[in-house]
């Protein structure tokens, strides 16, 4: 299964669309995900400006890294498709960190 995390862009054909990090994590826990592609900025109009923590594609990477370290999780192929340049750098660094821990 290929999983696409984005709140605005349409998932490519053959990819499972997700809007929230929790959805992606749920699918990762099934062990059936072979590839993911992550956006960073996920617009949540219900919590915007209400003091809630912003949820991002980076949250998925933090979960993967923890699972690799704690449980020996074998991550799928990870792609980053965010348009946010500074977030992309942070996410690419997280992917490199995950790869070093495998």
Q: What pLDDT digit, counting tens, does each position of 67-83 carry? A: 999 999 999 999 999 99
The yes-or-no verdict on residue 2 having pLDDT over 70 is yes
Which domains does the chain possess? 2-101 (3.40.50)
Looking at the chain, the whole-number percentage of residues with pLDDT higher than 90 is: 86
Q: Is pLDDT at 51 greater than 60 in this prediction?
A: no
pTM: 0.91
User: Does pLDDT of 39 surpass 70?
Assistant: yes
pLDDT value at residue 47: 56
Across the range 78-96, mean pLDDT stands at 97
CB within 8 A of 27, min separation 6: which ones?
Answer: 1, 3, 16, 18, 33
pLDDT at 17 over 70: yes
Q: Are 102 and 59 in contact (CB under 8 A)?
A: no
Residue 61 near residue 95, CB atoms below 8 Å: yes
What is d(CA 23, CA 93) in angstroms, rounded to the nearest whole number? 23
Is 87 a residue whose pLDDT tops 60? yes
Mean per-residue pLDDT for 48-52? 56
């Amino acid at each position: 299964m290929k999983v696409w995390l984005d709140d605005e862009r349409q998932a490519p054909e053959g990819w499972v669309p997700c809007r929230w990090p929790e959805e992606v994590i749920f699918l990762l826990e099934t062990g059936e995900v072979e590839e993911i592609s992550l956006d960073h900025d996920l617009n949540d109009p219900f919590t915007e400006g209400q003091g809630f923590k912003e949820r991002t594609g980076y949250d998925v990477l933090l979960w993967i890294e923890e699972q690799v370290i704690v449980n020996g999780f074998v991550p799928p192929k990870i792609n980053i498709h965010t348009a946010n340049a500074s977030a992309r750098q942070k996410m690419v660094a997280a992917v490199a960190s995950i790869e070093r821990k495998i």
